[in-house]
Structure 1
């Protein structure tokens, strides 16, 4: 493994709704995912995250796993409904107390707390008022950021405002496979704009109460053109603008790209300046490239997503393509140049069907190979001048994987959901040894 510079941040990531459980504890209010999971047919295995990994009660055990792993940082998310049960009003003290204990425990274990404010668990009361389609939700998000930073801002080492706003817009509001289950296609652009506006307002709120750096975590996917017609090229450009530029160009002061669905009427005077508030870190979440070709005649979409051949696949049937991460990092560096802040890879991981053997061990050589390839890709990009300063594995624990329920396992640690027993996998030992080196 090529050497990484001193101070490079090695971490793992989770999200509140996928691991915490205890959905009625601390006076927590319902989120859109609580509502969505109760609707028949929404979740593949019919499960809910009411218990998930019970991290709310087992956080000390999980902190010990982090200490044993030797990572320098842990990226978790704060559950907005635990802080503001209805998405508005004063902070719920019991909810903040939980994160207070978690942050203090992490610091005592020598692990930097990296806090994401929104990982898709919008309070249901805000959704009832229009959710991210409603401009007011951006203002509510800034108030929530202010309340959280006022309590934790002296100890959180990096703030991340939003996680993967593209995925939340496209799956949650475009095609309806995620909460809240809306099917708006390109009429979902207000969701994009209001998330970004909320991000900009939250940046100001965080800087008022904390001196720690501020970031956003976007999902990126290198787009591979399938076919060689002018229509295929146009389709590829349209998808790239939607997935990779819609949530980055305006952050870096370039305004919105010419992407499908962009509606200038939604953007008010001054909004773009708020959105372009300087950030310290760009979080990059990468899983796989996307194949694109021109759509069939009559399609409502300007592109068609197609499988890419020639790759090994994960349990999600995603192509294993470490070269895509290097390509992506170089492309960001070349596209945005000096406007690009430092980069941290805030999610990188894979799902496989891991299970304990007769001796209770969980061997996952495919995950080790996956992570090894992606870590090497990061180092190659750094050697070519890309300012990458951190790498976070998704995820510490097997967890409740959104619409897939408990059917997909991403963790370095196996979780028996019936007993909540944690068993570090062979990839846990591999990553521990890597961070020590």
Structure 2
């Protein structure tokens, strides 16, 4: 069980669990279109064991049972994503009524159980038809995404407690277009630079579209890290500056200062879209809250052999998860204080944190220490309002396939049986009868 109590986080603190459509839904039927993860996972070598999300945890059919788990765990909120290709199979144009009906059932099911719906418009499942048009490399995606956002705002907005535009724009842009680890798997600096800008332009365009439809309580979810230099040397300090700028400051500066770090705009000048500066007013549209996903730190060492960005990320000596990610709760505390002091006084939500691990006793300790880190950040003035565990269920963990388990509920992928783990029981014990 946890040592921290709910009262340590404040009387109005929101506890929830989080998932994402492609990772749990399956249900590639009923008019759903193809996504870039369908094709990326079908390409040999991209995903461990060639796993794909065609079935995942069968949430498309088993959603009532999964919402019961959210409710019975004592969570008052559920963060989920809508699948763009399920709602608009080609990304633009014709709407799929069966897709609307599925999310009607899901959202109404949350409300019937007293669960607040926290929706995310985009959690990486871009319609394949839009990839054919250039995807995030094409400036037109801002308009395509705006049309999709308008549909969500118009059809679901009055039932959603909160809406985020995009989950983890660093992953959408850099991980997927420069490092090539996630769909669409590009390793190209021009592709990455354009995606880095267009993902935030699309976010701002979607905020405008949602507000035009009367949607309230709007935000975005950034994945941020506690960036640190590998040593005190001037070279490693420069490496840290690049790493922090790429992972953290590009998105925080763009959203809250209306500009990108000069270190990066100078380095990427020949690759960025012409006139991108004129878009910054849209990029930095006012928000109602900021979501932060936190998992580990970035430790940066100078590397002169690397083109464009002269650094390499290294592993430190902290304890690690089974994915090799360092466990660093103090990093979360420091990060929350930094964001609240340097960037925004908006309410902050930990929209994801969790641990890939088969030893659930370690996961319980992970959550306990990270909740304590949130309380410590609150004591230093950070306005943190909520915490969402990643993830409710073991699921399709992208390029790791089904080999990585983040869930607080175990899923037997052969039978789809759900079994709460000790970490679920720890949350349940803390939250029981306090709703």
> Is 1:202 equivalent to 2:211 in the alignment?
no
Question: 1:156 — aligned with what?
Answer: 160
Q: Distance in 2 between matches of 1:371 and 1:65?
A: 18
What SS does the aligned partner of 2:299 have? strand
User: 1:357-376 residue pairs with structure 2 within 5 A?
Assistant: 364-376=360-372
User: 1:9-408 residue pairs with structure 2 within 5 A?
Assistant: 9-23=14-28, 25-185=29-189, 187-260=191-264, 261-263=267-269, 265-268=273-276, 270-297=278-305, 299-309=307-317, 311-336=318-343, 339-353=344-358, 364-408=360-404
Q: Which structure exhibits the higher relative contact order, with contacts defined as CA atoms closer than 8 Å and separated by 6 or more residues?
A: 2
Per-residue deviation, 1:26: 2.2
Q: For each residue in 1:293-314, what CA deviation from the matched residue of structure 2 results, as whole angstroms up to 9, or x when unmatched?
A: 11144555311101111x1110
What SS does the aligned partner of 1:250 have? helix
5+ residue gaps, structure 2: none
> Is 1:435 equivalent to 2:435 in the alignment?
no
> Which TM-score applies when normalising by structure 1?
0.94
Q: Is contact 2:177–2:192 with CA below 8 Å preserved after alignment?
A: yes
> Which TM-score applies when normalising by structure 2?
0.95
Q: Distance in 1 between matches of 2:312 and 2:73?
A: 41
Q: Distance in 1 between matches of 2:94 and 2:50?
A: 34
Provide closer, same or farther for how the CA distance between residues 165 and 269 of structure 1 changes in structure 2, counting only shifts above 3 A: closer
Q: Is contact 2:120–2:166 with CA below 8 Å preserved after alignment?
A: yes
Judge which range, 421-430 or 255-264, deviates more.
255-264
> Is 1:420 equivalent to 2:416 in the alignment?
yes
Question: 2:405 — aligned with what?
Answer: 409
Provide closer, same or farther for how the CA distance between residues 192 and 113 of structure 1 changes in structure 2, counting only shifts above 3 A: same
Provide closer, same or farther for how the CA distance between residues 136 and 365 of structure 1 changes in structure 2, counting only shifts above 3 A: same
Per-residue deviation, 1:231: 1.3
Q: Is contact 1:175–1:185 with CA below 8 Å preserved after alignment?
A: no
Provide closer, same or farther for how the CA distance between residues 254 and 271 of structure 1 changes in structure 2, counting only shifts above 3 A: closer
Question: 1:359 — aligned with what?
Answer: none
Q: For each residue in 1:368-405, what CA deviation from the matched residue of structure 2 results, as whole angstroms up to 9, or x when unmatched?
A: 00000000000000011001001101000000000000
Q: Is contact 2:172–2:199 with CA below 8 Å preserved after alignment?
A: no
The Cα RMSD (Å) is: 1.4
Of the candidates 6, 12, 15, which is equivalent to residue 11 of structure 2?
6
User: Which aligned segments of 4 or more residues in structure 1 are displaced greater than 6 angstroms?
Assistant: none
Q: Distance in 1 between matches of 2:217 and 2:421?
A: 33
Provide closer, same or farther for how the CA distance between residues 419 and 238 of structure 1 changes in structure 2, counting only shifts above 3 A: same
Q: For each residue in 1:191-241, what CA deviation from the matched residue of structure 2 results, as whole angstroms up to 9, or x when unmatched?
A: 011111111011011112234200100000111111222111111111101
Q: Is contact 1:80–1:144 with CA below 8 Å preserved after alignment?
A: yes
5+ residue gaps, structure 1: 355-363
How many residues are matched? 424
